[in-house]
Amino acid sequence: MRRTHPCVRPGRCPARLRSRVPAWCRATWLALCCGCLLPLPRIALADHDHAPQANASESTVLETVVVTADHVRDYAENNPAMVEVLGRREIDRRNMRSVEEALASMAGVEVKQSAGVGSRIAIRGSGKSGGVLVLLNGRPLNSSQYGSVDLASIPVETIESITVFKPPVPVWLGAGASDGAISIVTRGLAGTKEKGRQVTKVRTAAGSYGALEANASSQMPLAAGTAMATAAGKHRDGKRTNNDLDSGSLLLHWDGDLADNRKVEIDGRYFSSESGSPGPLDNPTPDARQSYEKASFDGRLSGLAGANGDYGLNLYGDSVEVEDTSQSGLVSTLDDARIGLKGEYNWNDDADRWALRASSLVENDDLDHTLSGSHSRMTAGFGVQADRKWQDWLVTAGARGDRITGFGFNPGLSGGLRHVLGEGWSLKANLGHSVNIPTFGQLYQPSHGSIDQTRGNPDLDKEKILAADAGLEYAWSTARSIQLTAFRSETDDPILYQRGADLIYRPVNGGSAWRHGLEANWKYGFTEDLSLEANLIVQDSEVEETGRELTYTPHLKAKLTLQRTLPGTGTRLETTLRYSGEQYTEMENRAAQQLDDYLTVDCKAIQPFKLAGLNAEWFLNVDNLFDTGYSIHYGYPDEGLRFLTGLNLSF
Architecture of domain 23-462: Beta Barrel (2.40)
Dihedral pair phi/psi, residue 307, rounded to 5°: -80, -25
Most confident of 178-192, 320-334, 386-400: 386-400
Would you list the DSSP string of 214-250?
Answer: EEEEEEEEETTEEEEEEEEEEEE--SSTT--EEEEEE
Strand, helix or coil for residue 442:
helix
Three-state SS string over 294-361 comes to EEEEEEEEEEEECCCEEEEEEEEEEEEEEEEECCCCCEEEEEEEEEEEEEEEEEECCCCCEEEEEEEE
262 pLDDT exceeds 60?
yes
Looking at mean pLDDT, say which of 25-39, 432-446, 516-530 comes out highest.
516-530
Q: What percent of the chain has pLDDT over 70?
A: 84
When mean pLDDT is compared over 4-8, 25-29, 291-295, the highest value belongs to 291-295
- The answer to whether 297 touches 332, Cβ cutoff 8 Å, is no
Closest CA to 462 of 176, 78, 191, 192: 176
C-alpha 405/C-alpha 141 separation (Å) is: 19
Question: Residue 130 has what DSSP assignment?
Answer: S
Rounded Cα distance, 141 and 121, in Å: 13
Residue 25: pLDDT band (50, 70, 90) is very low
CA neighbours closer than 13 Å in the CB half-sphere of residue 226: 20
Q: How far apart (Å, rounded) are the C-alpha atoms in residues 218 and 210?
A: 27
- CA 87 to chain CA mean position, Å: 13
Cα torsion angle, 476, 477, 482, 486, sign = positive
pLDDT digits (tens, 9 = 90+) for 196-208: 567 889 999 999 9
Whether 520 shows a pLDDT value over 70: the answer reads: yes
pTM of the model: 0.86
Q: β-pairing, 289-305 with 109-113?
A: unpaired
Residue 167, C-beta contacts closer than 8 angstroms, at least 6 positions apart: 123, 124, 126, 177, 178, 179, 180, 432, 467, 469, 487, 489
- What's the average model confidence in pLDDT over 219-229? 85
pLDDT of residue 115: 54
Per-residue pLDDT tens for 57-102? 333 333 333 334 344 556 666 789 899 999 989 999 999 999 999 9
What is the β-pairing status of strands 181-186 and 133-136? parallel
Rounded-to-10 torsion of CA 120, 122, 127, 130 = -50
Residue of 65 and 578 predicted with greater confidence = 578
Q: Is the pLDDT of residue 26 over 60?
A: no
Structural element, H or E, at residue 632: strand 631-633
Rounded mean pLDDT, 186-195: 55
What pLDDT is stored for residue 364 in this prediction?
95
Mean pLDDT of 617-634: 95
- d(CA 360, CA 344) in angstroms, rounded, equals 7
pLDDT reported for residue 151: 84
Structure confidence by residue, pLDDT tens digits, 285-329: 999 999 999 999 999 999 999 889 999 999 999 999 999 898 888
Contact by Cβ (8 Å): 81, 72: no
With the C-alpha atoms ordered 66, 67, 69, 73, is the resulting torsion angle positive or negative?
A: positive
Handedness of CA 630, 114, 183, 127 (dihedral sign): negative
Res. 461: pLDDT tops 70: yes
Looking at residue 325, its amino acid is T
What are the start-end ranges of the H helices in 402-476?
Answer: 440-443
Which residues are within 8 A (CB) of 419 and not within 5 positions of it... i.e. 6 or more apart? 392, 393, 394, 426, 427
d(CA 324, CA 326): 6
Q: Assess whether the previous peptide bond of 39 is cis (omega < 30° from 0).
A: no
pLDDT for the residue numbered 450: 59
Three-state DSSP class for 111?
Answer: strand
